[in-house]
């Protein structure tokens, strides 16, 4: 994060950033790694429109790509086609710009934590490119301040538990926020393109954003003053023919607004300890001068029209990771002559 001066009265904010499904759009494949929604895959699907694929699985892949390309964006103009990653990139520029705006809204005491599988050493070059992309939209050179601990995350439960471990290191008995100093935790996460449908994380049942937030708070000491917000960048729908489409939708206008609202809300004082004079003054100022949600910032982001890409000379379909979320640098060619699955990008 950029260096800054700050007041000791301000709350600290930690933003946990997933990449795939947040800064790009990924499509769940029931039998294989998620599909990266990029210009190459979109153009390939368009070239196959009206052609029957030899296997039902491959037909479903093409149809899902087409359905995503045609699906309108919620609460903003355009379609998901406008969020397709350009050739050679796994990052959508418009979504990276929104992340930069969320970071700015986090304030001067904001720590940005990479919680994606991109934190693994084999993805270091991609992280540098991501940091350079975000830096373009900030007035300083951006780098991630921290990373969650290395882990073999295979599903949504693993990811939430890993972030919970980090929160416990901050707010547990030995953490620097255990004494009631205000802390805000914002999660930008699609949980491996997984709905919040009751999966277990420890003894918690995660069936809503509120349940995930409650789990994170449960990892803190009772004396901690922590607020948590999950922006779950997940969307699903069913086609007229009954094909289920599940996507990591990216940081769209709707999801970015949730982040802004959380970051603009007044800090709630801890109930377990009396406020100091400075704390009372801060609470009074926040209650009378609460910052409104910066809708102007959201409206400022104009999603660029997808740039035309060259039609593929060899039929490749890019993947954003394998089902376990463990990236490799190998090229795995499928039985189909038109499908080559790349597995360098983690979820």
Which residue matches tokens 């050739």? 87
Q: What is the pLDDT of residue 334?
A: 35
Contact 107, 266 (CB under 8 A): no
Q: What is the pLDDT of residue 309?
A: 30
Which residue matches tokens 């953490």? 175
Q: What is the pLDDT of residue 103?
A: 97
Q: What is the pLDDT of residue 139?
A: 83
Pairing state between β 182-189 and 225-232: parallel
Q: Number of H helices and number of E strands within the chain?
A: 9, 14
Contact 326, 320 (CB under 8 A): no
Q: What is the pLDDT of residue 284?
A: 52
pLDDT under 50: residue ranges of the chain = 3-9, 271-282, 285-286, 288-297, 299, 301-316, 322-347
**pTM, to two decimals:** 0.80
3-state helix, strand, coil in the chain (%, to 5): 35, 20, 50
């Amino acid at each position: 994060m950029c260096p800054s001066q700050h007041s000791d009265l301000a709350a600290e904010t930690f933003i946990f950033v997933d990449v795939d499904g947040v800064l790009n759009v990924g499509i769940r494949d029931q039998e294989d790694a998620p599909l990266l929604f990029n210009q190459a895959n979109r153009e390939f699907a368009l070239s196959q429109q009206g052609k029957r694929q030899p296997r039902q699985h491959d037909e479903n892949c093409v149809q899902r790509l087409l359905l995503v390309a045609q699906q309108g964006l919620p609460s903003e103009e355009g379609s998901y086609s406008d969020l397709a990653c350009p050739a050679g990139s796994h990052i959508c520029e418009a979504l990276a710009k929104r992340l930069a705006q969320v970071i700015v809204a986090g304030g001067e005491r904001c720590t940005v934590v990479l919680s994606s599988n991109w934190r693994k050493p084999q993805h270091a070059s991609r992280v540098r490119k991501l940091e350079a992309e975000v830096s373009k939209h900030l007035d300083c050179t951006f780098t991630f301040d921290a990373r969650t601990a290395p882990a073999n995350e295979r599903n949504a439960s693993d990811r939430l538990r890993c972030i919970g471990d980090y929160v416990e290191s901050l707010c547990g008995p030995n953490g620097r926020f255990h004494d009631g100093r205000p802390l805000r935790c914002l999660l930008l996460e699609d949980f491996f393109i997984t709905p919040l449908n009751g999966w277990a994380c420890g003894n918690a049942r995660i069936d809503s954003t509120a349940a995930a937030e409650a789990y994170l708070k449960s990892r803190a000491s009772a004396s901690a003053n922590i607020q948590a917000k999950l922006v779950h960048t997940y969307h699903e729908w069913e086609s007229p023919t009954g094909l289920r489409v599940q996507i990591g939708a990216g940081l769209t206008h709707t999801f970015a607004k949730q982040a802004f609202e959380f970051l603009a809300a007044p800090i709630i004082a801890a109930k377990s300890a009396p406020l100091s004079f400075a704390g009372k003054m801060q609470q009074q100022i926040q209650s009378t001068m609460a910052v409104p949600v910066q809708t102007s910032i959201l409206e400022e982001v104009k999603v660029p029209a997808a740039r035309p890409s060259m039609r593929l000379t060899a039929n490749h379909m890019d993947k954003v990771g394998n089902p376990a979320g463990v990236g490799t640098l190998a090229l795995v060619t499928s039985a189909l002559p038109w499908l080559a699955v790349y597995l360098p990008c983690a979820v």
